[in-house]
A and B are shown apart, each in its own frame.
Chain A
Amino acid sequence: MKRRAGWSLVLCAIACLIGHGYAQAQAQCTPADFGKEIIARIAGDNCPKPNEPELEAIIGRIDAAIDNAKLEEVERSATLIGALRELRDAYGRRPSWGAGLERGIDAAILRARAGELPLNGFANVRAPNVPPDPLACSLVLGTVGELDYACIVLQGSPVPSGAGARVHVLEPYEAALALRALSAAHSAISKLNIPELDKAIERLTQAQKRFDNLRQHGYLQYPWELALDTALTPRARYDACQTTDSFCSGEAGLDPASLRVIFLHPGVGIAAAGLGFKGKPSWDTAIALSLEAIGFVSYTDSFETYWGLSGGAIVSDGDFGDTRFGLFVHATRWLHAGYLFSVLREATRGDASVFLSLDLGTAFGASFLE
Chain B
Amino acid sequence: MSAPNVLFVVHGMGTNLEAAEEPTAWFKEVETALHVAWERFPSLAEESFAEYIELCPLSYDQRFRQYTARVAAAGEKLEGKLGKARYARALAAVGGAGADDEENFLWANVMDVLLYRLGSDFNVEVQVALQLQLAKKVREVWAANTGAPVQFSMLSHSLGTAVAHGMLQRLALGAIGDSDVFKLGGNFKLRCYMTLANVSRLMFRPGGSIYDKTLIRPGRYVESFINARHIADPVPAPFKFAPLAWGPGYREIPIQCFRQPNLHAFTHYLDHPAVAGALFRSLVPFLIQQAEVDAVVATYPDVNNPDEQKCRSIERLIADIAHELQVAYNDETHLLSDSVELLAGVARRAWQNRKALGALT
Nearest-CB residue, chain B, relative to A121: B187
User: Which chain B residues in 193-235 approach chain A with CB under 8 Å?
Assistant: 205-208, 213, 215, 218-219, 223-224
Nearest-CB residue, chain A, relative to B145: A63
Nearest-CB residue, chain B, relative to A59: B147
Binary flags per residue of B124-149, CB closer than 8 Å to A gives 1, else 0? 11001101100110110011011111
Contact A244 B174 (CB under 8 A): yes
Q: How far is the CB of B59 from chain A (nearest CB, A)?
A: 13
> In the complex, which of the residues A35, A123, A127, A242 has the most CB atoms of chain B within 10 Å of its own CB atom?
A127
Contact A189 B170 (CB under 8 A): no
User: Which chain A residues in 76-133 approach chain B with CB under 8 Å?
Assistant: 117, 119-120, 122-123, 125-133
Residues of A in contact (CB 8 Å), total 90
Contact residues in B for A27 (Cβ distance below 8 Å): none
Nearest-CB residue, chain B, relative to A42: B148
Contact B286 A132 (CB under 8 A): no
Contact residues in A for B74 (Cβ distance below 8 Å): 220
Task: Select B284's contact among A40, A125, A133, beta carbons within 8 Å.
Answer: A40
Task: Select A249's contact among B81, B142, B174, B178, beta carbons within 8 Å.
Answer: B174
In the complex, A251→B176 CA distance in Å? 5
A260 and B206 in contact (CB under 8 A), knowing A220-B71, A254-B176, A268-B82? no
Task: Select A125's contact among B85, B96, B149, B178, beta carbons within 8 Å.
Answer: B149
Q: How far is the CB of B176 from chain A (nearest CB, A)?
A: 4
Contact A226 B81 (CB under 8 A): no
User: Which chain A residues in 226-265 approach chain B with CB under 8 Å?
Assistant: 226-227, 229-230, 233-234, 237-238, 242, 244-257, 260
A119 and B122 in contact (CB under 8 A), knowing A5-B46, A194-B139? no
Contact residues in A for B287 (Cβ distance below 8 Å): 36, 40
Q: How far is the CB of B137 from chain A (nearest CB, A)?
A: 11
**Is B169 positioned at the interface, with any CB of A under 8 Å from its CB?**
yes
- When A and B form their complex, what is the total count of cross-chain residue pairs whose Cβ atoms lie within 8 Å? 257
A120 and B187 in contact (CB under 8 A), knowing A221-B120, A287-B81? yes
In the complex, A233→B118 CA distance in Å? 11
Q: How far is the CB of A104 from chain B (nearest CB, A)?
A: 12
Contact residues in B for A305 (Cβ distance below 8 Å): none
Contact residues in B for A134 (Cβ distance below 8 Å): 248
Contact A318 B128 (CB under 8 A): no
In the complex, A203→B175 CA distance in Å? 10
Contact B96 A222 (CB under 8 A): yes
Contact A223 B166 (CB under 8 A): no
A230 and B118 in contact (CB under 8 A), knowing A125-B149, A131-B249? yes
**Is A198 positioned at the interface, with any CB of B under 8 Å from its CB?**
yes
In the complex, A221→B148 CA distance in Å? 48
Contact B1 A43 (CB under 8 A): yes
**Is A190 positioned at the interface, with any CB of B under 8 Å from its CB?**
yes
Contact B122 A226 (CB under 8 A): yes
Q: Which of A207-215, A276-284, A330-338 contacts B (4 or more CB under 8 A)?
A: A207-215
**Is A205 positioned at the interface, with any CB of B under 8 Å from its CB?**
yes
Contact A247 B206 (CB under 8 A): yes
Q: How far is the CB of A347 from chain B (nearest CB, A)?
A: 23
User: Which chain B residues in 236-292 approach chain A with CB under 8 Å?
Assistant: 247-249, 281-282, 284-287
In the complex, A131→B208 CA distance in Å? 27
Contact residues in A for B205 (Cβ distance below 8 Å): 234, 238, 246-247
Can you list 20 contacts pairing A with B, beta carbon distance less than 8 Å?
A126-B151, A132-B219, A183-B148, A187-B147, A190-B142, A191-B143, A194-B143, A197-B138, A197-B139, A197-B142, A199-B179, A201-B135, A201-B136, A204-B131, A207-B128, A208-B128, A211-B128, A212-B66, A247-B206, A251-B174
What would 11 more interface pairs be, CB under 8 Å, given A119-B185, A119-B187, A247-B173?
A: A41-B4, A117-B181, A129-B191, A129-B192, A132-B218, A187-B147, A197-B181, A226-B118, A226-B119, A233-B120, A249-B173
* Chain A residues packing against B (C-beta within 8 Å): 1-2, 5, 35-36, 39-43, 45, 63, 66, 117, 119-120, 122-123, 125-134, 179-180, 182-184, 186-187, 189-191, 193-194, 196-205, 207-208, 211-212, 215-216, 220-223, 226-227, 229-230, 233-234, 237-238, 242, 244-257, 260, 266-268, 287, 289, 318
**Closest 5 pairs (CB-CB, A-B):** A250-B174, A246-B206, A249-B174, A249-B173, A203-B177
